[in-house]
A = this chain, B = another copy of it.
């Protein structure tokens, strides 16, 4: 038997053309049936390519013609009510305009489309809580945070988030390892006094993991100067905050040679402050950012940055979500993807200073 989503796609294909003239009242299946002189059941069958039940080629043609003539377009809502399937998956995130998030949008949509599903991006949980709107959801949220109430959604769900260990129903990567990777990279270049630029951050985001990874890695480098953490909010804008924090630190003297920032905006702010102070990157100070966004790529010098596998994670999440939906199961096994480091021009050996 043809899987339903194929059928669905076929139907879409059949009917996807825009109206020549928007009709007063959209044609319904019943209209087509009347026009073709058959029953709605038959119309439904041919328009859905439900050819398991064979149909006389001649009636089939009559029906297709009628549909065409009436500019029939299926009503997605009615169909969804009858089938209990919307063939759309939700992608929930609070950060729709974040460049990090942007990296996963394309892959998720592709993967979904490939399987006959549509994507609905939503920023409020309401869309997920009322019944029937979507068949499943990808959540950019912390699966261990009970407070969000995402744990008990009535639809299959897969999280995409950072975690130290594989979690069920979650595609993860390890930000602790990511931060450590950055520090390790800097250490390998010979840096011993590496600041952690964290700015201000909530307790429930991904930053605590990065802080932890930073600390652990710092204490693991031989001859390390120990953690040097820059915190605080001098501006509500990340870029600005990175700039201000760095400038402030610079005024207090400089006994560090490298900066690891928890995201690329902060890193770019630091880069800017350094340049304005006449300090050369990477000759005098090295920097590594986080998330490997467009910001890192277009910085000058282009910044090395920790690449979280959010794009692959999204694709994987989409694939497993559809799989869960079609298996009628809420369970999808967790998987952890490795983080990497994209090397660019912002790291070098520390300068010898007198």
Contacts and interface: CB of A to CB of B under 8 A. Distances in A.
B21 A152 contact: yes
Interface in A92-107: 96-97, 99, 102, 105-106
Nearest to A150: B18
Most-contacted residue by chain B among A75, A86, A97, A300 (CB, 10 A):
A97
Interface of A: 12, 15-23, 26, 73-78, 80-81, 86, 96-97, 99, 102, 105-106, 109, 113, 118-127, 129-133, 149-154, 239, 265, 268, 272, 275, 295, 297-298, 300, 330
Given A75-B81, A77-B132, 11 more contacts: A12-B126, A16-B125, A16-B126, A19-B152, A22-B152, A22-B153, A76-B132, A77-B86, A119-B122, A119-B123, A239-B298
B109 A123 contact: yes
B81 A77 contact: yes
Contacts of A126: 12, 16, 118
A123 B106 CA distance: 10
23 contacts: A16-B125, A16-B126, A16-B129, A18-B150, A19-B154, A21-B152, A22-B153, A23-B154, A74-B130, A74-B131, A77-B77, A77-B80, A77-B81, A77-B132, A78-B81, A97-B102, A97-B105, A118-B124, A119-B123, A265-B298, A268-B298, A295-B298, A300-B300
A122 B118 contact: yes
B77 A149 contact: no
A97 B104 CA distance: 10
Nearest to A271: B300
